[in-house]
Homo-oligomer: A and B are copies of this chain.
Amino acid sequence: MNGAHSLIKTLADAGIEVCFSNPGTSEMHFVAALDAEPRLRAVLTLFEGVATGAADGYARMAGKPAATLLHLGCGLGNGLANLHNARKGKVPVLNIVGDHATFHVPFDAQLQSDIETVARNVSPGFVRTSASTEALCRDAVEAIAAARGLPGQVATLILPADVSWGEGGMPCPPPAPPAPQAADDATVEAIARAIRGGGKTAFLLGGQALREPALLAAARIAAQCDTHLFCEVFPTRLERGAGLPTPERIAYLAELAGVQLAGIDHLVLVDAKSPVSFFAYPGKPSDLVPEGCTVHTLATPAQDAAASLDKLAAALGAAQAAPALQPAMRPARPRGRLTAAKVCKAVGHLLPERAILIDEAITSGLLLGTMTAGCPRHDLLTLTGGAIGQALPNAVGAAIACPDRPVLALVGDGSAMYTPQALWTMARERLDVTAIVFNNASYSVLNVELERVGADAAPGPKARSQLALRDPVLDFCRLAQGMGVHAARADTAEAFCKALEYALANPGPHLIEAVVPEALGGAKRRLLPWLLRTLPSLPPPLRRALKRRIAP
């Protein structure tokens, strides 16, 4: 049995069912071995960023890693941005990166480069070049264990061509599944004491703490002890909708996040990082924890968030408390000229049960959270690492992980253009994805950021042109059709609703191009810096009301 055959058997034995691939010559033995293993599905992508983003989306929904198959250092480079998102989201991914045969490396041929160096950026915890066919499957099992580890991570196994084609491969049994532990008694007791001690307490839930069991446990504590529940700014996977607790998502804008967190005395982290500003701004703090607030860690990402919250609930006598649950409600059907807010409203009006909602609409999606909060239960996947080009590939992976669930990916025009090739894989695999592209002809968030960073007051034409997606305006319908995806354009709310109803009623993929003005264009954008400065000094009721209009 050659290395490739033994590796593929080892992957399948370990429960890896999908390989998102973009192979080259050094991966041909792996490709040739695919047909011998019916348990491993190979999904071809036209660009590595699609493969890695699909593996990320798959693992978020399947709860286990997929493999990627990439071609040397350049292929890994092309896949780096979405692997970064997976790393930041603690999502398990197993990269298999083909390399030249070991004896070919010293010749420094055209494609030779230092793959391990690149890999360390996204998989600092596990990078290994397999040295021999005999060692390959042991290496693979260690890589799988690392990927599925506590917490999940990106693991990179580099596969030299001769290790793949050599004989003597020995499949290995799968690694033991990870067994995360709950927080220890002392930690639970200390946090319980802090909560009982008074002061304003809030939980910041992230990672696994955003799934139903943990959410319910946290909501029981909140009901019993009058604490507040926050959700991290970019959740990997948030279970939400009617019947579930709705934690308040921390805002992307640090100024708003500061308002959200103001006055908290105890912040309890549950599988979440202490809140920091997404970017740095001149004269503004990066750390968003308010002064005087004590930060407690109930569960690290390596621990069992739900079990830890259950223990804390028991310690607080909240085990039987009735959690506050989101009532069912939907916004009305929008009408008139299309805006980004109306797209979010229409999605809220129509979102089907058990949908998977992927949000990479950085400014246009501002009201998505509000508009869908009371929809039927669904999952929300977001831009965990801030590396744009995630939504369309994530949708590929999520749809393959959950073939019986509708996937809606909302994405800005700028973001969509990083990985448009995902549309082709959606068409080829006949995935039930509806991609909604907000075409506002702008890197809209950068127009906001240009003002926030305090750069030169009046940007000139060259600066403005760097942020505009005009001249020419992109035509996403043609792009989608060029890749075999059904597409429709809408510039009224009526047309958008009709297109979305059609897409939801007929198996996908579909693309809807929503032609909208900038969500934070014109006066709103000019007002934003003033608003952000002013917000902290407003009376609390007004502050809350405004916050609800802006925060996710």
Contacts and interface: CB of A to CB of B under 8 A. Distances in A.
Contact of A446 (B23, B35, B389, B476): B23
Contacts of A77: 77-78, 80-81, 84, 118, 121
A469 B417 CA distance: 20
A455 B29 CA distance: 5
B81 A466 contact: no
Nearest to A416: B46
A31 B455 contact: yes
Contacts of A84: 73-74, 77, 111, 113
Contact of A455 (B32, B47, B450): B32
Give the size range of A's interface with the partner: 35 or more
Contacts of A427: 472
A28 B280 contact: no
A153 interface: no
Interface in A265-286: 273, 276-280, 282, 286
A246 interface: no
Contacts of A472: 424, 427-428, 483-484
Given A28-B446, A107-B286, A472-B483, A34 B462 contact: yes
Contacts of A80: 73-74, 77-78, 80, 118
Query: For the complex formed by this chain, how many copies does it contain in all?
Result: 2
A272 to B, nearest CB: 13
Contact of A117 (B111, B121, B161, B460): B121
Interface in A8-32: 21, 23-26, 28-29, 31-32
Contacts of A459: 31-32, 35
A385 interface: yes
A386 interface: yes
Contact of A35 (B25, B31, B44, B460): B460
Contacts of A21: 466
* 7 cross-chain pairs, A with B, having the tightest CB-CB distances, nearest first: A35-B460, A472-B484, A77-B80, A478-B482, A32-B455, A104-B280, A101-B280
